[in-house]
């Protein structure tokens, strides 16, 4: 299949963590035993319905007089190229899992619901139909969030010690909220269209 055919059939996708991660790259690389890149991944939807990465771009911004570094990795069959491709895919998987946990899950599920829970409990009677409808869905969210703040997202906690952004993990969540979250885009069908 040619590039034009793949574009026409909407079989190419871009997984882009470049702009979101690039401001953190130099900060994270200053921490001992860590590294980070901004990444973009071109992905092809196969006829079997699976996604296959075609190319991965890893980028480091300029730092200490060194120019910006970027390299594009593609699937390769020689020994060195094959390992470099696997390492590039590992970086993208770390970016994707970090983004999922910090933005898609923590931010867009737990954090943004807290104001609604508080407003529901403060301003709606226990007998109000909306309160009764929401109550089972919001029941343990505040408790779960509180426990997460104690063990997962606290300074030096599990998230900071295991995610590639290290101590900047929660800052990424905050920045994603500032850059990407809009109340008017969260309702259906706008949320589905934006995905």
| Contact by Cβ (8 Å): 24, 40 | no
Strands (E), 6-105: 12-16, 38-45, 51-60, 69-73
Q: What's the longest Cα–Cα distance across the chain?
A: 68
Report pLDDT for 67: 94
* Bond into 173 cis (ω within 30): no
Domains, the chain, ordered by start? 3-194 (3.10.450.60)
pLDDT in tens, the chain (195 residues): 888 999 999 999 999 999 999 999 999 999 998 999 999 999 999 999 999 999 999 999 999 889 999 999 999 999 999 999 999 999 999 999 999 999 999 998 899 889 889 999 999 999 999 999 999 989 899 999 999 999 998 988 999 999 989 999 999 999 988 888 887 777 778 877 877
Reported pTM: 0.84
In the block, which residue shows the tokens 């034009």? 4
Measured from the Cβ of residue 40, the count of other Cβ atoms closer than 10 Å reads: 18
Question: Do the strands 38-45 and 69-73 form a parallel or antiparallel pair, or are they unpaired?
Answer: unpaired
Tokens of 16: 């882009």
Q: Is residue 92 within a helix (H) or strand (E), and if so which, with residue range?
A: helix 79-99
**HSE (side-chain half, CA atoms, 13 Å) at 118:** 7
pLDDT in tens, 20-36: 999 999 999 999 989 99
């Amino acid at each position: 299949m040619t590039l034009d055919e793949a574009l026409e059939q909407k079989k190419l996708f871009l997984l882009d963590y470049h702009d979101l991660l690039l401001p953190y790259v130099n900060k994270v690389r200053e921490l001992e035993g860590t590294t980070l890149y901004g990444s973009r991944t071109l992905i092809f939807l196969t006829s079997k319905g699976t996604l296959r990465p075609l190319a991965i771009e890893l980028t480091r911004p300029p730092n200490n007089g060194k120019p910006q570094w970027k390299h594009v990795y593609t699937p390769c069959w020689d020994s060195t190229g094959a390992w470099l491709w696997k390492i590039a895919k590992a970086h993208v998987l770390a970016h994707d899992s970090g983004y999922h946990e910090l933005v898609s899950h923590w931010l867009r599920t737990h954090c943004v619901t807290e104001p609604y829970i508080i407003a529901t409990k403060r301003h709606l009677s226990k007998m109000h139909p909306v309160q009764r409808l929401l109550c089972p869905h919001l029941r343990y969210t505040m408790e779960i969030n509180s426990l997460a703040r104690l063990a997962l997202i606290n300074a030096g906690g599990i998230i900071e010690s295991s995610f590639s952004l290290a101590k900047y993990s929660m800052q990424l969540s905050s920045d994603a909220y500032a850059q990407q979250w809009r109340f008017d885009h969260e309702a259906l069908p706008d949320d589905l269209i934006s995905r």
